[in-house]
Amino acid sequence: MMLLGVERLRTLILTCSLLEYVGHRVASEEIQSFWQHCFLTATLSERLARGIGYPQPEQAYLAGLLHDIGALPLLLSNSSEPIQAESAAFEGWRESLALERERFGTDHCEVGRWLGISWNFSPALLEVMVCHHNPREAIHDPYLVGIVAAADQFCVVRGVVQGVGPPEPCGSAIHPNEQILRACLPSISPEEAGKLGEMLETDFLHLIQLMDFGAAGVFGGGIPKNPFREFEART
């Protein structure tokens, strides 16, 4: 408790409880895909936070790990519904906030907000859950939201998908990595965006080589069995 702090420890316990509950009711492939995305987003969020000099890189890691926590109740709801012929039209709902709203009447950002409020998460974590697809709407800690949003989109464009896809290309000659970074963190310079983009690209390739992917995942498998233990170790 002294190392993690009461707030982070409580956050991890609540999230582990939700994950355990959902894990018994949702296909393992769904949970695997969820954690592949969240774990890589968390790791890249921490690297990016250190790269721009954000003072709390561990907070960036935790925020990246939890940014899509609102998707777990939707996965649970989806698994409990009977398979119907028209459900094929919703196959890509995990990649579109609009399809989430059409299918469930809400989206994972809004569900994340409900969870964050009911669990009394910090304003910074709550804002990440709500605004990570629209980082320019962030008010409390726009840097933290922008960091997680950039890491999230970076994973999405490489096929590690849980949330919505990246914005449509605008015809710019700017490299996609720089485009993501400048959209999510508008205060950084073009030169800094270029260097950070190269850093994230290198780190991502290094991470997917180090991680123990098995047969079910995007690259052929898995992530560490307990990502929270990884968080505790680094703090």
Quote the pTM value: 0.78
pLDDT of 172 = 47
Q: Of 185, 182, 133, which Cα lies nearest the Cα of 162?
A: 133
User: What band does 130 get if pLDDT is binned at 50, 70 and 90?
Assistant: very high
DSSP result, 53-110? T-S-HHHHHHHHHHTTTTHHHHHHHHHHSPP-GGGGGGTTGGG-HHHHHHHHSS-HHH
Q: Which pLDDT tens digit goes with each residue over 42-84?
A: 999 999 999 999 999 989 998 998 999 898 888 888 776 655 4
So what's the pLDDT on residue 82?
53
Q: How many CA atoms lie within 13 A of 17 on its CB side?
A: 8
pLDDT at 177 over 50: yes
Task: Enter the DSSP assignment of 134.
Answer: S
Give the domains, in start order, of the chain with CATH numbers: 6-79+92-165+172-234 (1.10.3210.10)
Chain centroid to CA 51? 19
Give the pLDDT band (50/70/90) at residue 233: low
Report which secondary-structure segment, H or E, holds 226.
none
The answer, yes or no, to whether residue 234 has pLDDT greater than 70, is no
